[in-house]
Structure 1
């Protein structure tokens, strides 16, 4: 499949997404929730480091881009709710309220990140450019997911009587994971460059709301 055919097919996807009914989009949201859970069980160490991670965040970032702002958020909300009900598909096989206590901030960050990426990609043409896409992904990963995660973890630790400052926790969590965050942003940018139409303004503007204004 050549590049022009890929771009043509992905443009058709964005147009089809806007015409799809609510039931179809909810099913796709559930599919992304399941995919997020599956990716949370694929554990590996980043080569050249001691950082253990999963490809889960990649799916979170792509949920908004592929499903859009609303259904990207719904997919991550479904992922969180189903996991809290007991399905062990959070990272490293955790599930239920007890298994998610320390990660509730990260789970909330998943919803914010999917909403953010979906909104920006559907409303700002310049976000489809590689450099801006990379910065967007880095922001969603570091600020929306990991900052929310650290705040949530901080609250849990404080309630358990652990004495630690939020700044110290942010440093401990951020510094070792810079490499991982950068790789996640790069990989997501590469995938996005293949699936997102480069000029969304050429889509059927009477049937889709994609990119109606330039930043």
Structure 2
């Protein structure tokens, strides 16, 4: 009994030490290297981590979501997205209906359509800065409908892409802010059927 109790305490100590070291390393890095990062970096990472700890879903923490009004049809939502893309100087680069499941249960995904868009000029500027920005391209807005009729527009939150590292040069920051505004306002407006 005593031996198993001591073994359990040792295991807990090792686990705490391993996790504590990771946490301490993250904190130490943040404190000592923060001066190199964008002024909004720590807040952005804190918001991401808070979302992950609240919901346990890292994908949710990296996305923005907009509930679609009941009186707006799927076709109107997609038309609205495409019309608004032009208003924000974004080019629609794709429209893919991923799937439809007519008899989906209330809590299951019934319909998914994905509209992609990009500003080719901005894409070129960012790819010349870092090819890894290509992972964010093209920007996407996904329409997701559940069997119960609830519908949402989902798009990536670009905060970390913009503020999560070293500060972007001023012109790039201006371009990135334009894209972020577009990818926030387009789905918010399309969810209401705005044209």
* Fold equivalence (TM over 0.5): no
Task: Please report the TM-score for the alignment, with normalisation by the length of structure 2.
Answer: 0.30
- Flag the structure with higher helix content: 1
Q: Who wins on radius of gyration, i.e. which is larger? A: 2
- Flag the structure with higher strand content: 2
